[in-house]
């Protein structure tokens, strides 16, 4: 993010930072940067689908370190994506696809954030009672506005903060040594101030935004000018930025420098105005403006949103979005689908922009994970379609654009139509919080294909994940086998008992099984989209504690154990509550099995026998639960038998048709049959 190459350039300069013993202050934190930096800087697993419990622990340690030093954190998260950064977003999406493909092939860490990390981050901050707010668009400007108004530093790793003039400076996360505070009452770090930059490079402060725009930032990228030609003799490292800084010293006003830059680009006169508009847009991102979130943080008041947004998004949603009770994915989809007026408000709050310039930009990939495998987003698309139906109602000609990658690992755009369940047709977005709880719950259950009765035996905090698992097991492609289901359910149920810990230690680390990775990614995507739908429906079901649901290495370890002949009792023995939970969830999934076809039915027959054996081997003390599981398994077996009975007439019809079309071939087959006898 930010200005290309600026971070490494400044880190090579002596005297650009000052050492600081940071304590007893407010701190405005870039939530997006913190999410990534905490996960990637600690060596957590990236290839098995996430190490969420360890990540949650890391977040708690970070906040504890701040509070020990009397530092009050205020976290600001990104909202909807800025339309004017479309080319940058497309480029990053393609890069994620490339990195994801390399990671899946080699098993290396490629800094791809696990699917549910954002939700774990939000849930843990809420549990720790850390003040958190979600910006209407990207958070950079709001973080800078808050830091300037409160006269406190900003913590981030975004090089855009090198350009903004913050009174108390900017703390790069890479130099924020929060793990080393120990018994100290401060956190050792380094602070940057833009005034120091201007003094060292003898640059007038008003030229900093011009420098960033011409160097290339998230809004614009320039390849036309070779700034290396202006490098002073003997200063070759980072020649591009050095050359630009040296060239800017020729001019007294930023506008004069911009005009000269257009001449260097050699753009024809008819395009100069468009390019100049883009340069101005890139510079405006660094102008400090009044904070929209200050009173929200201090007094819980609804933030001020651009009028074009406030007129189209219900007030209850605006407050929920600011409180991070609604995902930025929902805001992102609404803003992109509502048209040019909202896009313009997103691009330039309080200003105007050039529509012709915007129309030339590619569409912007959403927060949907384009770096996942082809088909990973596809099975959860019906969940998102119900969400779109609630968001856009019966509006004609509304279509929502999603991005994914195809089988050739290419970024593709997909137009998705909003859909409705039987109950969601009756609900309206403006009055959704006032709708009956039973109706809101029914929309969620209809979407996931489960019944309220089937959830009745589960504790409230586990109902959503169980419903999602039923949906995943019916929809996933290729069809998961029961061993994968077993590993997933056991991973949710196992607690750190001495028995389970000892059993896991006996399992040696195995090479990642690439063929099962997509199935577990599909489950995570279904869970994420179901959590978003549950949020939009104002939480008819309790939101599950995501950090406890999936531990990538553990699930893959359990899968290997099950395929090597291991039994659930090995990991659940001595923990009656976990045994009962496992069997209840297994029973529910079996009850809601959909029709899978003849090939899947054949595989499932043996798996059902294995599951029945597993339940018997658990030696449950709860006879009622055991009977329930056995009844569910028997019902699933009857369903499979019915499938096969239905398939047989079709096969006979097909065989008769083939005999009529080719009687000679049929005669030869009959003869071969007599020969065998």
Question: What local confidence, expressed as pLDDT, does residue 397 receive?
Answer: 67
Name the 3-class secondary structure at 156.
Answer: strand
Name the 3-class secondary structure at 69.
Answer: coil
Measured between alpha carbons, how far is residue 644 from residues 358, 596, 674 in Å?
A: 57, 11, 27
Name the 3-class secondary structure at 358.
Answer: helix
Q: What is the mean pLDDT of residues 455-480?
A: 91
Helix (H) or strand (E) holding 584: helix 576-591
pLDDT band per the 50, 70, 90 thresholds, residue 580: confident
Question: What local confidence, expressed as pLDDT, does residue 370 receive?
Answer: 38
Q: Which residues contact 309 (CB under 8 A, 6 or more apart)?
A: 136, 318, 335, 342, 345, 346
The full set of domain ranges for the chain reads: 6-284, 457-652
- pLDDT exceeds cutoff 80 at 150: yes
What pLDDT digit, counting tens, does each position of 524-552 carry? Answer: 999 999 999 999 999 999 999 999 899 99
Structure tokens, 175: 């130099």
Question: What local confidence, expressed as pLDDT, does residue 303 receive?
Answer: 87
Question: What local confidence, expressed as pLDDT, does residue 665 receive?
Answer: 55
Lowest mean pLDDT among 68-82, 270-284, 318-332, 399-413: 399-413
Beta bridge partner(s), residue 22: 187
Q: Which residues contact 330 (CB under 8 A, 6 or more apart)?
A: 317, 321, 387, 391, 532, 535, 536
Question: What local confidence, expressed as pLDDT, does residue 600 receive?
Answer: 47
Supply the DSSP symbol for 178.
G
Given a contact cutoff of 8 angstroms between Cβ atoms, the answer to whether 461 and 544 are in contact is yes
- pLDDT exceeds cutoff 70 at 358: no
Q: Of the ranges 5-9, 572-576, 616-620, which is most confident? A: 5-9
Q: What is the mean pLDDT of residues 179-186?
A: 78
Measured between alpha carbons, how far is residue 270 from residues 87, 257, 472 in Å?
A: 22, 19, 54
What pLDDT digit, counting tens, does each position of 93-138 carry? Answer: 545 545 555 555 545 555 688 999 999 999 999 999 999 999 887 8
Q: pTM of the prediction?
A: 0.82
Q: What is the mean pLDDT of residues 290-311?
A: 87
Question: What local confidence, expressed as pLDDT, does residue 511 receive?
Answer: 61
As a whole number of angstroms, the distance between CA 23 and CA 265 comes to 47
| Nearest Cα to Cα of residue 225 among 248, 253, 256 | 248
As a whole number of angstroms, the distance between CA 536 and CA 538 comes to 5
Would you give the distance in Å from CA 623 to the centre of its chain?
Answer: 41
As a whole number of angstroms, the distance between CA 437 and CA 449 comes to 18
| Nearest Cα to Cα of residue 290 among 499, 147, 120 | 147
Q: What average pLDDT is seen over the chain? A: 79
Q: Residue 131 phi/psi, 5° resolution?
A: -60, 125
Percent pLDDT > 90 in the chain is 42
Q: What is the mean pLDDT of residues 666-677?
A: 42
6-284: CATH, from 3.50.50.60, 3.40.50.150, 3.40.50.1010, 3.40.1390.30:
3.40.50.1010
Supply the DSSP symbol for 51.
B
The secondary structure of 269-323, three-state, reads HHHHHHHHHHHHHHHHCCCCCCCCCHHHHHHCCCCCCCHHHHCCCCHHHHHHHHC
Question: What local confidence, expressed as pLDDT, does residue 236 receive?
Answer: 62
């Amino acid at each position: 993010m930010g200005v290309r190459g600026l971070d490494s350039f400044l880190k090579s300069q002596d005297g650009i930072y000052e050492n600081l013993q940071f304590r007893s202050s407010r701190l405005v934190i870039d939530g997006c940067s913190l999410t990534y930096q905490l996960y990637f800087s600690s060596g957590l697993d990236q290839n098995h689908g996430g190490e969420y419990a360890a990540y949650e622990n890391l977040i708690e340690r970070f906040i504890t370190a701040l509070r020990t030093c009397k530092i009050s954190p205020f976290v600001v998260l990104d909202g909807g994506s800025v339309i004017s950064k479309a080319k940058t977003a497309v480029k990053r999406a393609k890069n994620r696809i490339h990195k994801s493909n390399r990671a899946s092939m080699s098993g290396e860490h490629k800094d791809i954030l696990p699917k549910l990390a954002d939700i774990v981050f939000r849930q843990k901050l809420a549990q720790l009672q850390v003040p958190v707010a979600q910006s209407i668009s990207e958070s950079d400007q709001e973080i800078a506005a808050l830091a300037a108004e409160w006269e406190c530093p900003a913590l981030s790793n975004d090089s855009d903060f090198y350009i903004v003039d913050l009174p108390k400076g900017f703390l790069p996360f890479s130099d924020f040594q929060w793990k080393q505070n120990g018994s100290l009452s401060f956190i050792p770090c380094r602070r940057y101030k833009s005034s120091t930059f201007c003094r060292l490079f003898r640059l007038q402060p008003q030229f900093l935004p011009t420098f960033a725009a011409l160097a290339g930032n998230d809004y614009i990228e320039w390849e036309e000018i070779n700034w290396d030609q202006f490098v002073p003799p003997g200063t070759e490292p980072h020649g591009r930025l050095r050359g630009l800084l040296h060239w800017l010293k020729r001019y007294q006003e930023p506008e004069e420098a911009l005009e000269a830059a257009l001449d260097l680009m050699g753009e024809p006169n008819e395009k100069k105005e468009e390019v100049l508009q883009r340069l101005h847009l890139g510079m405006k991102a660094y102008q400090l403006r009044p904070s929209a979130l200050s009173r929200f943080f201090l007094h819980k008041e609804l933030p001020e949103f651009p009028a074009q947004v406030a007129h189209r998004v219900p007030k209850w949603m605006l407050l929920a979005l600011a409180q991070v009770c609604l995902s930025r994915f929902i805001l992102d989809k609404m803003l992109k689908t509502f048209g040019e007026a909202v896009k313009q408000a997103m691009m330039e709050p309080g200003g105007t922009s050039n529509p012709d310039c915007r129309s030339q930009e590619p569409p912007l990939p959403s927060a949907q994970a384009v770096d996942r495998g082809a088909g990973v987003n596809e099975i959860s698309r019906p969940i998102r379609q119900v969400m779109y139906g609630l968001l856009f109602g019966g509006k004609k000609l509304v279509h929502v654009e999603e991005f994914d990658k195809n089988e050739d690992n290419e970024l593709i755009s997909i137009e998705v139509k909003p859909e409705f369940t039987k109950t969601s047709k009756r609900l309206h977005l403006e009055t959704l919080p006032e709708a009956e709880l039973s109706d809101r719950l029914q929309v969620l259950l209809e979407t996931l294909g489960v019944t309220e009765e089937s959830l009745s035996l589960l504790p409230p905090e586990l109902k959503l994940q169980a419903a999602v698992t039923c949906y995943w097991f019916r929809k996933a492609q290729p069809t998961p086998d029961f061993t994968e289901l077993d590993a997933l359910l056991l991973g949710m149920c196992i607690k750190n008992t001495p028995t389970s810990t000892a059993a896991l230690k006996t399992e040696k680390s195995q090479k990642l099984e690439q063929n099962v990775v997509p199935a577990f990614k599909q489950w995570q995507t279904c869970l994420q989209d179901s959590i978003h739908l549950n949020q939009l429906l104002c939480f008819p079901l309790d939101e599950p504690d995501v950090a406890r649901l999936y531990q990538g290495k553990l699930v893959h370890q359990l899968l290997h154990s099950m395929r090597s002949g291991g039994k659930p009792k090995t990991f659940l023995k001595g923990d009656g509550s976990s045994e009962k939970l496992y069997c209840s969830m297994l029973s529910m999934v079996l009850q809601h099995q959909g029709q899978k076809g003849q090939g899947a039915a054949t595989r499932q027959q043996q798996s059902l026998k294995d599951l029945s054996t597993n339940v018997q081997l658990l030696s449950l003390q709860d006879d009622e639960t055991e009977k329930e599981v056995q009844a569910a398994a028997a019902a699933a077996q009857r369903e499979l038998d019915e499938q096969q009975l239905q398939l047989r007439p079709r096969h006979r019809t097909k065989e008769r048709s083939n005999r009529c079309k080719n009687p000679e071939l049929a005669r030869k087959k009959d003869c071969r049959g007599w020969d065998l006898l």
